[in-house]
Amino acid sequence: MSGGARVLVLGAGVAGVASAYFLARQGHQVIMVDQASEPGAGTSHANGGQLSYSYTDAFAQPAMLKKLPGLLLGRDPSVVMSLSPSLIRWGLAFVSQCTAGRSGTNSRALLELALRSAELLGGINREAQLDYSHATAGKMVLLRTDAEVQGAQPGIDRKTAAGCEVRLLNRQQAEAIEPTLAAMPEPYTAAIYAPGDEVADAGKFCRELSEWLQTRGSLELKLGTRVDGLLRRNGRVTGAKLGSEELEADAVVVCLGGASASVVAPSDIPLPIYPVRGYSLTLPPGPRSPRVSLTDVKHKIVFSRLGDRVRIAGFTDFLGNSESRIRRRVADLTNTAWWLAPEAADYAQEDHQPWSGVRPMTPDSRPRVGATRTPGLFVNTGHGALGWTLACATGQDVARAVSMDT
């Protein structure tokens, strides 16, 4: 592997910042560009905070086919859909991934990335000693029906075989570990428990790691700078257009999340990314705040303890880039979480730090990482609902691809 190339990283979310870290480690000169005034201001800003290393199954599963008619008919309040040609195209590709074979392959690939990410994040923690509310909180996924409980076992077996500590708990066992569950009014039957899963503030990580890299002279950061396109010469990408400025580089890594396809051409690499909107609140803890991070599959809501705050995130809205329903959906999320886990947070607080972002989802839930057909152009994008969990492994992968090509 060679180092010493001048590499432009476009986008300073978790994907971009992790790419910058591994590129810098490999001896490259890294310049990271973002239109926002600080790193981690996009979808990485206030996500669910879960490093769900053992809960990375692809969304496209055979069981999804049965759920689709109900979702299309609007019967699940945690999903809102507005059909459009781009959603129909994406949806058809998603359905093609809902076979047992493809969902198995996709889920295994995601698990490999997640477990490697866990190792790599541990390495960053030891080296950089950053403060981003990182904790090994463990994670519980709440199950309500017998079908969910039976359906969980093959996944638990696969993850155990891959080295994860994952087990099924009955209600009493779950409540003994996480007392806030006892205050939940809606009955659940069991919980999948992964004691080694972690939580951390992704936005803070982006800011802290960028600053650490800058302090060491390993990163030049250009904030408040919009990327308008790529520079191309003789069939090669040679840099990026930043307003009136043209910035030349030996390699360009696109990490623009949901906006990646606006600069990458389908002839470079197809990026079948659909923006799936979600929302979050960040509140002071309630009288029985969860220590373990919780995922409620039915309501599509997660609860994570991030330092002295509780992050509540959720919903899966297929509305393209429209922002018209954000206020209403944040109110829906607040009301649902308050009813679901009344003692988890201090919901009466006026400043509940409402936030919304779009998950850059691919039909197979797998990010697109590495070289493209166009020399000089690399991508690290399409992390969907798992960008924080997968960021370190994909950052390492794209840095390796750049090193092999420059």
Q: Minimal CA–CA distance to 216: which of 344, 305, 293, 127?
A: 127
Strand partners, 241: 229, 246
Number of amino acids touching ligand FAD (CB under 6 A): 41
One residue of 7, 8, 14, 141 binding ligand FAD per CB under 6 A: 14
Q: Which two tokens stand for residue 128?
A: 């950089």
Kindly tell me which residue out of 8, 21, 23, 34 binds ligand FAD, with binding defined by CB under 6 A.
34
Is 43 one of the binding residues for ligand FAD (CB under 6 A)? yes
φ and ψ of 402, to 5 deg? -65, -45
Q: Which two tokens stand for residue 115?
A: 């477990």
Does the footprint of ligand FAD cover residue 359 (CB under 6 A)? yes
Residue 376 contacts ligand FAD per CB under 6 A: no
Q: Could you tell me the CA-to-CA distances from 229 to 37, 398, 399, 406 in Å, in that order?
A: 20, 20, 21, 21
> How many CA atoms are closer than 13 Å to the CA of 323, on its beta-carbon side?
3
Phi and psi (nearest 5°) for 213? Answer: -65, -40
Report the nearest approach of ligand FAD to the CB of residue 194 (Å): 13
Calpha distance 106→343 (Å, rounded): 37
**309 SS3 class:** strand
Cβ atoms of 372 and 209 within 8 Å: the answer is no
Q: Exactly one of 21, 22, 25, 49 binds ligand FAD (CB under 6 A); which one?
A: 49
Cβ proximity to ligand FAD, 15 vs 115, nearer residue: 15
With binding defined as CB under 6 A, does residue 370 bind ligand FAD?
no
Angular region, 10: left φ>0, alpha ψ -120 to 50, beta rest:
beta
Contact call for residue 360 and ligand FAD (CB under 6 A): yes
* Stretch of residues binding ligand FAD (CB under 6 A), selected from 14-22, 67-75, 124-132, 163-171: 14-22
Among 24, 42, 310, 397, interactor with ligand FAD by CB under 6 A:
42
Under the binding rule (CB under 6 A), the answer on residue 120 touching ligand FAD is no
Does residue 365 bind ligand FAD (CB under 6 A)? Answer: no
Asked whether position 255 contacts ligand FAD by CB under 6 A, the answer is yes
Asked if residue 114 lies in contact with residue 50, where contact means CB atoms within 8 angstroms, the answer is no
One-letter amino acid for residue 42 of the chain: G
Are 62 and 107 spatial neighbours (Cβ–Cβ below 8 Å)?
no
Residue in 3, 36, 64, 332 binding ligand FAD, rule: CB under 6 A: 36
Kindly indicate which of the ranges 30-38, 73-81, 132-140, 158-166 contains the residues binding ligand FAD, using the contact rule CB under 6 A. 30-38
50 is a site residue for ligand FAD (CB under 6 A): yes
Among 388, 396, 399, 403, binds ligand FAD (CB under 6 A): 388
The footprint of ligand FAD (CB under 6 A) covers 11-16, 33-36, 41-44, 47-50, 52, 226-227, 255-257, 259, 278-280, 302, 313, 357, 359-360, 381, 383-389
